A and B are shown apart, each in its own frame.
Chain A
Amino acid sequence: MTLVHNWHLGRRMEYPYFESRPKRQFAAIFNINRCIACQTCTMACKSAWTYNKGQEHMWWNNVETKPYGGYPQSWDVKTLKLIDNGENTWYTDEKDEKLSPYGVYEGDTIFEAAAKKNINQWAVGYIPEDKEWRSPNFGEDVAKSNKPDEYSSLPEHSRWFFYMQRLCNHCTYPGCLAACPRKAIYKRKEDGIVLIDQKRCRGYRKCVEQCPYKKPMFRGLTRVSEKCIACYPRIEGRDPLTKGRPMETRCMAACVGQIRLQGFLDDNPKNPVTWLIRHDKLALPLYPQFGTEPNIYYIPPRWAPRSYLRQMFGPGVDEAIDKFMVPSRERLAVMSLFRMAQSIIFEYKIEEGPKVFETTIHGKKFEMYNDTVIGYGEDGQEIVRTTIEEPIHIRDPKHYNSI
């Protein structure tokens, strides 16, 4: 074991390999508040990568309803139980912007729990059986009623559910990679994408067992495991549509609800993904306590009970929801870039516009400016330009009835 720094946990933790961060990390932000669970992302992925024989049970991208849904069934509850040592708490009195932005996690990660339990493998985990991969949307739209007799009202609804969009997190410290006794799993230095070498894999299912998010999947037909490949040909700019520019994955580009923004986590503070995650802290990692430093980030749903959300996204939840409900001028501008382009946006610039609206939200003043947001590609060329207010087009009376 070596000690590596995990900024989600705000501390160093044990991992079988040295810390080796990619040049830039594949990452995405999902705004849970906007998702309608149309499953267009799910089908975009399915029709691209997993429509073949032996992949019937595979949904590299899936959308499940929380709290009751799960694919595979109850994956998160089962893994949380494995790392529960009775005191999985966070110390939040001191924070460091760079090293511990959410405070310090004091419980066990999947790696530390394995070492403590002395089970002689790298991480705790379990293999979901074939039956658990069935019915991937079981529990859809089923609400939890904390107080059945009361009407729901903000800030926390008493009857609630929300949609959880999931794919491989392309973790900085992947559980699957640590688990593989053959080094058949690798994390690419150029973009941090985690892949299973289909030639080297021998179907041991240690990755299926030790990935806490249960995203590597065993394929009975080929007797080896497969997982989300982050549409790497698109990320490499090999899709003719974007003429060599890095392109967002199928699931991101297909998002009807415009909840997704994909890009790279890097050191550029004007990168929209980096800004929302590292600087604004609006988007939070999923189950950071697992310790893998996952790279899909979520804007938490503002109506769900905070204690549930804190368990799921860590102690940054309250601040993120406050920020989402009353967005600052810059935040509103950056959030306007969601789904404005298929090419990956590497940098944004804001051109200021006039004030168009003001109101009070939960006692806080909110002002809206019609700023223009410009997104630039990897080559520095402008790829998208949009305004906060969507332009209104009034149809000519002679076309009222035409489409």
Chain B
Amino acid sequence: MKKGFSLLKYSLPLLGAAFLSATLFAAEETAPGVKGASEEEFTPAKEVLTVKYVQLDKPYHMDVESLKGAFKDANPVKVPLQKQDKAFPNGGGSVTGAEVKAIHDGITIYFQITWSDPTKNARSIAVQEFRDAVALMFPLGAVEITPAEHFSPRMGDREKPTNLWHWKADWEADLLVKGELEDVEVQYPNMHDDFNFNPYSAYYHRELITSVEVLSGGRAANNLLSQPGRGRTVEDLNAEGFGTLTTQDHQDVNGCSHYEDGVWTVIMYRSLITQDPHDVQFVPGGNAFYNMAVWNGGEQDRNGQKNISTQWHPATLEKVAWQ
């Protein structure tokens, strides 16, 4: 245990250096196609989200239904959303708003986001399929968002890093279907066959095609998106501006969702405090800022083609009972 801890300690500066060099490169390149932010974007929204303290018996199965009661008394904040119109490729605009509620139990913080989306897109296998998704973004470190601070609400900025939690509908489907990566053969058999009715070809070469893991490029490169059995529905990321989004080596966030009558309800949760220096930290009784984006897979939303809020939003965590 002690050995493991010291390894972690030494690897952190290295990680930091790698992240910084990657973002420096990208930041230089993002200039074309990016329009400057306006002053009002640096001013946070007025309405404060109260992260309500609740005493919660953590359900065995973490799902929206069993957490419903805990969110009962939490006050919702409406976040207006709009088209992403600053960095190429522009896009989005089909989702105009979302509702956010938040609670914590002194150990874990839960954000619940609901928005309307007439189509459920929980698969991203065929080339023209895109997933529904939602992301929360937090400034990294103890930052007070003021107009003078010039902290961009759009993916942060150079030397103004952010921590992002990205829930993906297809990751959740994977987890629920098999507890691992959704299998192409199961979800869409014979996708690339010339004729839909051929029942055999997916199995014909199965020994050959499953034998060489190294040729699954994304898997061999350790890309989290490609990994089977990732065991979660939310990706933990960092960004320092457009085009710099990077998956964290240490994944700490999880989530669950429910889709009914054209409405997504997504809950993302994480422990208030983590050991990862690339994570946002939450202190009961303290303040935080957040921003968010929603992707509508039915409208081909992905990457910068998304519905965004162009302001940071303040939040306050209620104290725990013994404070």
Contacts and interface: CB of A to CB of B under 8 A. Distances in A.
Interface of A: 1-2, 16-17, 49, 51-57, 120-122, 127-130, 133-135, 179, 181-183, 197-206, 208, 217-224, 226
B184 interface: yes
Nearest to A122: B88
Contacts of B29: 17, 183
Nearest to B211: A52
A202 B245 contact: yes
What 5 A-B pairs have minimum CB-CB distances, sorted nearest first? A222-B218, A57-B192, A220-B125, A120-B90, A222-B226
Given A49-B215, A130-B127, A181-B303, A121 B90 contact: yes
Contacts of A134: 192-194
B212 interface: yes
B194 A224 contact: no
Interface string B8-40: 000000000000000001100100110000000
Contacts of B223: 198-201, 222, 224
A389 to B, nearest CB: 44
B242 A53 contact: no
Contact of A218 (B85, B127, B170, B181): B127
Nearest to B225: A223
Of the four ranges (under 10, 10 to 19, 20 to 34, 35 or more), the interface on chain B belongs to 35 or more
Contacts of B87: 181
B154 to A, nearest CB: 13
A204 B192 contact: no
B303 A204 contact: yes
Which of B124, B128, B188, B222 is the most central at the interface, judged by chain A CB atoms within 10 Å of its CB?
B128
Interface in B241-290: 242-243, 245
Contact of B192 (A133, A183, A206): A133
Given A51-B208, A205-B130, A222-B226, 9 more contacts: A1-B33, A17-B29, A17-B32, A52-B209, A55-B209, A57-B191, A198-B221, A220-B126, A220-B191
Nearest to B245: A182
A130 B191 contact: yes
A317 to B, nearest CB: 33
Given A54-B184, A121-B88, A133-B127, A224 B191 contact: no
B88 A120 contact: yes
A168 to B, nearest CB: 15
Nearest to B226: A222
Contacts of B88: 120-122, 181
Interface of B: 25-26, 29, 32-33, 85, 87-91, 124-128, 130, 170, 181, 184, 188, 191-194, 205, 208-210, 212, 215-223, 225-226, 242-243, 245, 302-304
A130 B123 CA distance: 14
B89 A181 contact: yes
B26 A183 contact: yes
Contact of B303 (A2, A182, A220, A226): A182
A203 B124 contact: yes
Chain A binding surface, main DSSP class = loop
A202 B223 CA distance: 9
B228 to A, nearest CB: 9
Nearest to A127: B128
A17 B88 CA distance: 14
A226 B217 contact: yes
Contacts of A56: 191-193, 209
Given A120-B88, A203-B225, A223 B124 contact: yes
A183 B243 contact: yes
**Most chain B beta-carbon contacts within 10 A, residue among A17, A57, A130, A197:** A130
A2 B32 CA distance: 8
B89 to A, nearest CB: 4
A57 B127 CA distance: 11
Among A1, A130, A202, which residue has the most Cβ atoms of chain B within 10 A? A202
A201 B14 CA distance: 22
A204 B125 CA distance: 12
B226 A223 contact: yes
Contacts of A129: 126-128
Nearest to B127: A218
Given A181-B88, A181-B243, A218-B127, A1 B26 contact: no
Contacts of B33: 1, 16, 122
Contacts of A130: 126-128, 191-192
Nearest to A182: B243
6 contacts: A1-B32, A179-B89, A183-B26, A183-B243, A221-B226, A222-B225
A345 to B, nearest CB: 30
A220 B184 contact: yes
